[in-house]
Amino acid sequence: MPKKGNVVLFDVRTVMFMTAAATGMLALCLAITLGRHGASIGRAAKVWANATALQSLAWCAFSQRDLIPDLFSVLAGNLMICLAYAEYPRALRIFHGDTSTWPTPRGIAVSVVVPVVFYTWINPDVALRAVTSSAVVMVLLLIAARETVRTAPRPWPTSHLLALAVFSGGALLLLVRMVFEVSSTRPLTSGMASTPMQIVTFSYLSLVPIIATLGFVLMCSEHANAELEKLATTDSLTGTLNRRKLELLAGEQINIARQRGHQVSLLLLDADRFKTINDLHGHEVGDFALKNMVACARQHLRPGDLIGRFGGEEFLVLLINTASSEAAQIAERLRAAVAALDLHVRGKSLCLSISVGVATLGEHGHDFQELVRRADRAMYLAKHRGRNRVVTGTPEWT
């Protein structure tokens, strides 16, 4: 143990005990603050908190090495630390909505029992025990890093970069430790020895749960912000853009189209006799009809086309770089697809159709509101002509 006079510069046992206390408090705070969230965040936070609590127990056991039986300080400590690292990738999967059973990380974690038992009681060797247990933890850290990469949105947010850095860094450090202990001319003789490699390893591993948890909390914050953004910009029933967001995006696209000399077309879709559906079957069936109508429309739109709820049973579709004739063809495909829907409610067939108004702004068009007014007039003309049809408004520039 390095000393300066009679002063100990680094005490492994103290670091382990402080890590146990820090991770224990971290697990408690995480469980309290995030465990109350519903859906994937709450479930993932509980798994992450459990993993961090396991780390606290593991470090507490490690700190009592040579003071309590090796069964608890060595075997139980290594098993708990490995199980903790096995829970991190599982928490990441749950966070991103995957609740399927995934036994692989836990199986790898439990495998640490064999080498620890062998090198503790059958053929005692502290160095080889450190090497084999480091190998198991390294594999688990790599799995956690892989899950971080697999589930990260693009562009990479800070939260995922932070988690990836700490998991990958830990795996690299353990690989270095394994090579060092195998090739060292002065083999490790005690888990409490304050060698340079021990100092670096335990210092870094004491920070892993703290930094990784910071990354996880940032993930939760980013997810919550995305959910708030979604609530503020989408219709809760159909998942389409709400009117405010659609108007904003449409205005931007129209300005871009003007600069590039492109045409922009708008479709106004209105469900025919929708009030009758609500009156006869109830609003629950009406909601069912609207959701199916929107799902059908989305299947026949192109990538980049925007669809949003304008109000009630009316929906707007903005078609970028689309002339009037092409817009009319798209509208006809939508109308035919909705009319062909085979919907059944309470054992009865539900007939659904739409009337569509088409309007196009060219080089000399005005704005989004004018486009909506023209599409609205065309849609009402479709209603007047018998519904379940497409009517194209007069081009703006004629």
pLDDT tens for residues 26-48?
Answer: 999 888 887 666 667 888 989 99
Q: pLDDT > 90: what percent of the chain?
A: 69
Q: Are residues 36 and 182 in the same domain?
A: yes
Q: Is residue 266 part of a domain?
A: yes
User: What are 99-151's pLDDT values in tens digits?
Assistant: 888 999 999 999 999 999 999 999 999 999 999 999 999 999 999 999 999 98
> What range does the domain containing 167 cover?
3-233
Q: Are residues 217 and 294 in the same domain?
A: no
Mean of all residue pLDDT scores within the chain: 90
The CATH code of the domain that includes 18 is 1.20.1070
Q: Are residues 213 and 288 in the same domain?
A: no
Residue 197 has pLDDT above 90, yes or no: yes
Last residue of a domain, one of 193, 208, 233: 233
Q: Are residues 152 and 70 in the same domain?
A: yes
List C-alpha distances in Å: 94 to 159, 213, 254: 16, 15, 41
Q: Are residues 57 and 109 in the same domain?
A: yes
Q: Are residues 73 and 180 in the same domain?
A: yes
Q: Are residues 253 and 226 in the same domain?
A: no
Q: Is residue 398 part of a domain?
A: no
* Phi and psi at residue 309, to the nearest 5°: -85, 120
The CATH code of the domain that includes 357 is 3.30.70.270
207: Cβ–Cβ under 8 A, 6 or more apart, which residues?
166
Last residue of a domain, one of 233, 263, 281: 233
* Phi and psi at residue 242, to the nearest 5°: -80, 175
Q: Are residues 88 and 164 in the same domain?
A: yes
19: left (phi over 0), alpha (psi -120 to 50) or beta: alpha
Q: Are residues 135 and 278 in the same domain?
A: no
Residue 11 has a pLDDT of 82
Q: Are residues 316 and 381 in the same domain?
A: yes
Alpha carbon 286 to chain centroid distance?
A: 32
Q: What is the DSSP letter of 74?
A: I
Last residue of a domain, one of 233, 264, 298: 233
Q: Is residue 21 part of a domain?
A: yes
* Phi and psi at residue 112, to the nearest 5°: -65, -20
Q: Are residues 130 and 188 in the same domain?
A: yes
Cross-strand partners of 317: 267, 307
Q: Are residues 211 and 323 in the same domain?
A: no
Rounded to two decimals, the pTM is: 0.76
Residue 387 has a pLDDT of 96
When divided into structural domains, the chain yields a total of: 2
